């Protein structure tokens, strides 16, 4: 039973890490696209319209990054708590086995 729980926890954190990597890749791609658009606009001398066009997108990305960072931090804290519980249970199991 303990092995299954550890497997589930491992699977959960593996999936969480995969989601994080996927999101980071998506942000990287979107940032690169915005950078390319910015360079094109700057070369054309159209600074103001570029800023107006992407201002909301940039604000939304900033908000999303902050929210994801908070969620990731919460999951890290949850992970620490779960690790402490697992270690406690492992210790109890070892003590029971030694008796």
How confident is the model at residue 6, as a pLDDT? 61
pLDDT in tens, 28-67: 888 888 888 877 777 776 666 667 777 888 888 889 988 9
Neighbours of 53 (CB within 10 A): 13
How confident is the model at residue 28, as a pLDDT? 85
pLDDT over threshold 80, residue 81: yes
The pLDDT-based confidence of 5 (bands split at 50, 70, 90) is: low
How confident is the model at residue 37, as a pLDDT? 81
Q: How far apart are CA 49 and CA 41, in angstroms?
A: 8
Lowest mean pLDDT among 6-15, 52-61, 82-91: 6-15
Domain ranges of the chain: 1-44, 46-98
Three-class DSSP category at 99: coil
Q: How far apart are CA 82 and CA 23, in angstroms?
A: 24
pLDDT over threshold 60, residue 91: yes
Average pLDDT score over the chain? 81
3: left (phi over 0), alpha (psi -120 to 50) or beta: alpha
């Amino acid at each position: 039973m303990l092995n299954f729980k550890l497997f589930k926890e491992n699977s959960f954190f593996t999936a969480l890490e995969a989601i994080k990597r996927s999101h980071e890749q998506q942000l990287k791609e979107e940032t690169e696209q915005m950078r390319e658009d910015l360079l094109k606009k700057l070369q054309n001398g159209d600074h103001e319209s570029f800023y107006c066009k992407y201002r909301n997108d940039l604000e939304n990305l900033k908000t999303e990054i902050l929210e994801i960072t908070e969620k990731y931090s919460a999951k890290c804290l949850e992970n620490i708590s779960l690790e402490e519980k697992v270690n406690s249970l492992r210790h109890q199991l070892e003590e029971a086995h030694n008796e």
